[in-house]
Homo-oligomer: A and B are copies of this chain.
Amino acid sequence: MASSMRTLTVDLGDRSYPIFIGPDLVANSALYQPHIHGRQVMIVSNETVAPLYLDRVESALTDYRLARVILPDGEQYKSLEILDRIYTGLLQNRFDRRCTLIALGGGVIGDMTGYAAASYQRGVNFIQVPTTLLSQVDSSVGGKTGVNHPLGKNMIGAFHQPQCVIADTSTLDTLPDRELSAGLAEVIKYGLINDPEFFDWLEQNMTALVARDPAALAFAIERSCADKAAVVAADERESGQRALLNLGHTFGHAIETGMGYGSWLHGEAVAAGMCMAAAMSGRLGWLSGQQVERIDRLVEAAGLPVHPPREIPAERFLELMAVDKKVMDGQLRLVLMRDIGQSVISDDFDPQALKQTLYAV
């Protein structure tokens, strides 16, 4: 086992599981074996990732009866219809409820495979092998699985925890720059939510992260997962504080919807959204001008946008935000910042501060 591997345990009682982080892990059979209980293993991947890593994963699993399902690559395939290909593959191979699914790919593959595992024969085991920075820091923790519906994103799903997560930093070598940056948006988010020390570290190490330094990436992934796990452990079913993880997301979803999905990457929209939340927090007097500036500079250094697209007028932006699912009982709730590393959920803010933030763009 690589000596540089980091292991983080997500503590969820009898559903606790380890996250393994480091280089050259996908072919390490010792990581998989303790987490596979039967003999039947189904690997689910997509047409982009499978040619790069499927052989290596399969080489680690020669002791098992292997099957595979390769899906088309893209958010538009995260549907019930494409999900059915996983069920069909499992049934054609006569896999029973002791089988294990392995998700090899980014967030879409992780969400779909996790949901197939949650629902096949009312629940089987699965292992996450995330191959993008976004999925390594975001999908590894929280147990959210699901698919989109034509009438809404992530509307069908389940909470289902993996047996383990294998986050191989070497797989990031093949990730396009833009997607690496999109993943860094979520990394910055964890510093802003509840970890000021990590934010400082990111300011010092953003150059190394953008240059894909393996040790810096492994540290950032571990710290992000630990920060997210702390929020999730306190609120597994998303009733309260877990909403902090939506920092930048209400603004970000408005950008994604306003521009049409796929035009901005999710991480890019979240980055601009976090800068908007920071600017608004500044207007409310909750952050200093210098703090807002530090946030913008870090986001910029990650290769990410600090402003929303000019194509969305302020009125339209407000409209798009009001249909966001974080609205409860007609009152808009936003995640704002009281300090760097101290985010809060608030529906008690001066609405003028929101309007001014949108019109200032």
Contact = CB atoms under 8 A, between A and B. Distances in A.
Interface string A199-222: 000000000000000000000000
B158 A123 contact: yes
B325 A91 contact: no
A234 interface: no
A91 B323 CA distance: 13
A325 B158 contact: no
B155 A121 contact: yes
Interface stretch (A56-64, A145-153, A172-180, A306-314): A145-153
Interface stretch (A80-88, A130-138, A267-275, A333-341): A80-88
Interface string A71-99: 00000000010001001100110001000
A155 B91 contact: yes
> How many identical subunits does the complex contain?
2
Interface in A209-254: 237
A157 B160 CA distance: 13
Contact of A91 (B120, B151, B237): B151
Interface in A19-61: none
A159 interface: yes
Interface residues of A, number: 25
B158 A158 contact: yes
B91 A159 contact: no
B92 A157 contact: no
B120 A155 contact: yes
A80 to B, nearest CB: 6
Contacts of A342: none
Contacts of A325: 96
Contacts of A80: 80, 84
A123 to B, nearest CB: 7
A11 to B, nearest CB: 20
Complex A-B, nearest 9 residue pairs according to Cβ-Cβ distance, in ascending order? A91-B151, A122-B157, A119-B156, A91-B152, A87-B149, A122-B158, A122-B159, A119-B158, A80-B80
26 contacts: A80-B80, A80-B84, A84-B149, A87-B149, A87-B151, A87-B155, A88-B149, A91-B151, A91-B152, A91-B155, A92-B151, A96-B325, A119-B119, A119-B146, A119-B156, A119-B157, A119-B158, A120-B155, A120-B156, A121-B155, A121-B157, A122-B144, A122-B146, A122-B158, A123-B159, A158-B158
